[in-house]
Structure 1
Amino acid sequence: MKEIKQIYYNDSGTSFYWRKQNEVIIDKVQLIFRETGFYFSRLELEQFKRCIEESFTLNKCCDDCSLKNECHKFLLKTPCLQIDLAVSMQELTAVKDLVEGTLFKINLNDYLFGVGMN
């Protein structure tokens, strides 16, 4: 595991930086969700977060349903124009947590080891 520096994980996936010759490469984040890997810049990660938020807005029809978010899948757009993911509402919630947790940890580290240092 010395080839990576983990950023965040949950039951559906993980995010990490790659290491090359003992140096952490922070310009891109490897995001693994289910069996799919994305190699995103921070800007692309922010775009993915907006795609997820848009999907929540477009597919919030499960509140009155007896199956409660487990019945069907819909397409989740990604920053890669050629790639959409088929996800259920449960999976959408999990990838939302993964992306938001990753961005939170990145921003926290930037603050702690950047502007926040005295």
Structure 2
Amino acid sequence: MDDITPIYHNPFGVAFQWKRNTIKDIRKIQIVFRDTGLLLTEKELVQL
């Protein structure tokens, strides 16, 4: 868990941001629901 910055978690999943990102992914947030992961920008996250 040293590689991530947790944003939110509950029994269904977790939202976090990677500490070490490539330049193109630095502004994206990773959301994980059970065994499915989504890597989203802030704009994509608001549209959900």
TM-score range, shorter chain: 0.7 to 0.9
Shift of residue 34 of structure 1?
1.9
Aligned length: 45
Shift of residue 42 of structure 1?
0.6
Higher Rg:
1
Q: Which runs of 4+ in 1 moved over 6 A?
A: none
Aligned equivalent of 2:10? 10
CA deviation string 1:76-114 (max 9, x = no partner): xxxxxxxxxxxxxxxxxxxxxxxxxxxxxxxxxxxxxxx
1:18-97 equivalent positions in 2, closer than 5 A:
18-20=18-20, 27-48=27-48
CA distance in 1, matches of 2:9, 2:15: 6
Shift of residue 26 of structure 1?
5.3
Q: Mind listing any 5+ residue stretches in structure 1 that lack a counterpart?
A: 49-118
User: Which structure features the higher share of strand residues?
Assistant: 2
What amino acid sits opposite 2:34 in the alignment? R
Q: Mind listing any 5+ residue stretches in structure 2 that lack a counterpart?
A: none
TM-score by length of 1: 0.35
User: Which structure features the higher share of helix residues?
Assistant: 1
Distance 1:26 1:7, change over 3 A: farther
Q: Percent identity?
A: 40
The higher-RCO structure (CA 8 Å, 6+ apart) is 2
CA distance in 2, matches of 1:9, 1:26: 21
